[in-house]
Structure 1
Amino acid sequence: MPDAQDTLAFAAAMPKVSLHCHLTGTLHPRTVAELAAKHGVPMPDGRTAETLYDHGSYENLGEFLRVLDLVGAVMLDRDDFHRTTYETLTLAAQHNVIYREMFISPPSHPDVDYPTMIEGITAGLRDAEADHGIVCRLIFAMNRNADPADGIELVRNVIRHRTDDILGIGLDYEEVTGPPERFAEAFALAKKAGLHRTAHSESGPPQNIITLLDLLDCERIDHGYHVVTDPALTRRCRDEGIPFTCTPVSSDIGRYSGSGDGTHAVIAAMVDAGLAVTIDGDDPPMFGTDPTHDLVALVRALGYGPEQLMRFTENGIEAAWLDASDKATLRSRARMMSTAK
């Protein structure tokens, strides 16, 4: 059995699959400051690149969303989206992320037209794949705190401008004030168009997961920690193989997957219940984490070894919105990398 240091080294070197990461939340604070200066957007409260991200304050979701909206406000042209996409995928590749399905949130960029956004992001992911070998596909997310009609229009835009890189849609922002049933029509439109579907369910009751599965017809759940508070729902999700994209560090700071003490007991309960759990970073620099650190947090708190860490990657491959051939290619690549390490 490998010792703790060997496991930590394995966590850094192992192949990773990323299914819960938001482009807007991946910007390095220096990049935010440079884009703000470029476009004349004032930094909030006189903050600098060194003080922009106050990790501890994000226990208050409203404060986190306020900073996230500022980041969205400095991404205004094609070059901005190219730069930020390329930078985040380059960093992910350095942590051996081999595949990512990344959330894009058009509502965070109200002054940018959809084609401009798509052109910049697509150019960024193409360059990152060519330079670093990381494959990235896209999920377009609607703001659940907005009018449901906005969600329908977002889906129509996705359909109108769809490319092979766009796999599906999501639903994010504050769950308490944005119950998922409000967006049933948008999700039905997406399903009819052949788009995959997922949604955040972090702070709401277990009933919200049932709504996502039965009304919105979601194929996986982002976060979903409250699934283990309802034994019948836990069994259903286990038996149906519903994937859960968990984010240990950000959710612990937000006190959704724990009490802010770093025990990650809820994720442990999900794993122990046999649920298909994947691990990612959500908004990594905003929460002081990265693709390796989220795994390291679980190793230190829960004693997970290489076998469980690789299971997270395997779950991610299975949960990815790829066809059987692409999944087989990804499994082969992951197996070769893990054997080499």
Structure 2
Amino acid sequence: MTLAPFAFSTPTPHDPAIDAMVAALPKVSLHCHLIGSVAAQTVVELAAKHGVSLAGRTAEDLYDHHSYADLGEFLRVLDVVGSVIRDVDDFHRVTYESLTAGGAAHGVLYREIQLSPPGHPDVPYPRLLAGVVSGMRAARADTGIDSRLVVGINRERSGADAVALVEEVVAHRIDEVVGIGLDYAEVNGPPGRFVEAFQLAARHGLERTAHSESGPPAHIRTLLDDLGCSRVDHGYHVVDDPDITARCVAERVPFTCTPVSSDIGRYSGSGDGTHHRIREMVDAGLCVTIDSDDPPMFGTDPTHDFRVLSHALGYGRDQLAQLTFNAIDACWLDESDRRDLRARADTVVAGVPDRHTTLEDPS
């Protein structure tokens, strides 16, 4: 299926050399939500299939990118999308499209899909898992893109709900599931609530990460010390605390940053396109990776997130490639698979011409 194009929510200057460079660069995706990566046309078709009303919305106006500066509005739309993905075929389809048209077509070599079972409240976890894994395997067979799953806990629910979800993940454990995450609104679910669930995941050999986009820097210490996270999703506020920054540099804690969505959501700056928080994190020596979060919902894609950083921060080939190599270091593959992924990325980067840019005034 050919997905309909959409207008980018973050306009950038037209520069064919930069466009060619960012399109050709290899990418490794550690922060992309399955629900948030569903193309608008697919949502419309699945809604019709299951008799779900979209209140008159069409594929052209389903996603109102800039309204997602309000996290609550974004999460409401996200829940609508989750409600139309119901059977094995649906999960196969959205996974396959996300990994192919939304991944391999942009040079993504590997993705750790953030999967949110609570976003599909009426779908049994085994059914969801069967469809997603089927889509993953088909995408790999057709395009070569490799992938794994990170199961997300909805932090707006109770700690007991989180434990129950981890227990279900353990009960249906498969090789494709490599870890757990923590998402939804941080203000409604401080990380300390989920210590028991994360400790249970650790006992069963699952890796751990968590979103921390709007909380205080001290939340990062909780993620590392109490939840045992080996990386942090977003985490832009880390640079507000020199001591925590120094610790994360020394321990090489990865931060999975998402330039376009975080700029719209005002997490990584003031929404002015400067991406100054990501610059500060990189300049501080933190291990920063780049991904596109919920791509069609925020009017972006893996190539476009690289493009905006190239224009805003003046990053050329080597700086952008380093973000990919950081993601390879941070991914949850075993050492042999990680070496193979690094070799693939090295080969691709060697064939990409450099294009140094200069910092432009986004105004």
Query: Is TM-score (shorter-chain normalized) higher than 0.5?
Result: yes
Structure 1: 4+ residue segments shifted above 2 A: 4-8
Alignment of 1:39-50 (within 5 A): 39-43=50-54, 45-50=55-60
1:52 paired with 2:62, answer: yes
1:292 deviates by 0.4
CA root-mean-square deviation: 0.8
The one-letter amino acid paired with 2:82 is: G
**Partner Cα distance (1:161, 1:340) in 2:** 42
1:146 paired with 2:161, answer: no
Match of 2:71 in 1: 61
1:293 paired with 2:304, answer: yes
Alignment of 1:307-318 (within 5 A): 307-318=318-329
Match of 1:89 in 2: 99
Match of 2:355 in 1: none
1:132 paired with 2:143, answer: yes
The one-letter amino acid paired with 1:330 is: L
Match of 1:12 in 2: 23
Q: For 1:216-241, what per-residue CA distance to the aligned partner results, in whole angstroms no more than 9, with x for missing partners?
A: 01000000000000011110000000
1:47 deviates by 1.3
SS at match of 1:314: helix
Q: Paired residue for 1:104, among 102, 110, 115?
A: 115
**Partner Cα distance (1:191, 1:237) in 2:** 20
When normalised by structure 2's length, the TM-score is 0.92
**Partner Cα distance (1:184, 1:256) in 2:** 25
**Partner Cα distance (2:16, 2:125) in 1:** 46
**Partner Cα distance (1:263, 1:5) in 2:** 21
1:316 deviates by 0.4
1:72 paired with 2:90, answer: no
Match of 1:221 in 2: 232
**Partner Cα distance (1:123, 1:58) in 2:** 31
1:234 paired with 2:245, answer: yes
SS at match of 1:176: helix
1:264 deviates by 0.2
Match of 1:177 in 2: 188
**Partner Cα distance (1:81, 1:27) in 2:** 10
The one-letter amino acid paired with 2:247 is: R
The one-letter amino acid paired with 1:52 is: L
**Partner Cα distance (2:150, 2:83) in 1:** 20
**Partner Cα distance (1:23, 1:236) in 2:** 32
For structure 2, the 5+ residue unaligned runs are: 1-14, 353-363
Q: For 1:171-219, what per-residue CA distance to the aligned partner results, in whole angstroms no more than 9, with x for missing partners?
A: 0000011100000000000000000000000010001111100110100
**Partner Cα distance (2:333, 2:227) in 1:** 20
**Partner Cα distance (2:66, 2:335) in 1:** 41
1:8 deviates by 3.2
Match of 2:360 in 1: none
Q: For 1:232-277, what per-residue CA distance to the aligned partner results, in whole angstroms no more than 9, with x for missing partners?
A: 1110000000000000000000000010110000000000000000
Alignment of 1:175-214 (within 5 A): 175-214=186-225
1:338 deviates by 1.5
Match of 1:251 in 2: 262
**Partner Cα distance (1:136, 1:107) in 2:** 21
1:5 deviates by 4.4
Contact 1:139 1:170 in 2 (8 A): yes
The one-letter amino acid paired with 1:243 is: P
Q: For 1:71-130, what per-residue CA distance to the aligned partner results, in whole angstroms no more than 9, with x for missing partners?
A: 000001000000000001012100010000010000000110011001000100000000
1:303 deviates by 0.4
1:49 deviates by 1.3
Contact 1:7 1:306 in 2 (8 A): no
**Partner Cα distance (1:165, 1:144) in 2:** 23
**Partner Cα distance (1:118, 1:161) in 2:** 9
Match of 2:172 in 1: 161
Q: For 1:30-87, what per-residue CA distance to the aligned partner results, in whole angstroms no more than 9, with x for missing partners?
A: 00000000001111x4211111100010000000000000000000100000000000
**Partner Cα distance (1:182, 1:249) in 2:** 29
Match of 1:35 in 2: 46
Percentage of matched positions with identical amino acids: 62
1:9 deviates by 1.6
For structure 1, the 5+ residue unaligned runs are: none
Alignment of 1:111-122 (within 5 A): 111-122=122-133
**Partner Cα distance (2:285, 2:22) in 1:** 21
Contact 1:8 1:299 in 2 (8 A): no
SS at match of 2:336: helix
When normalised by structure 1's length, the TM-score is 0.98
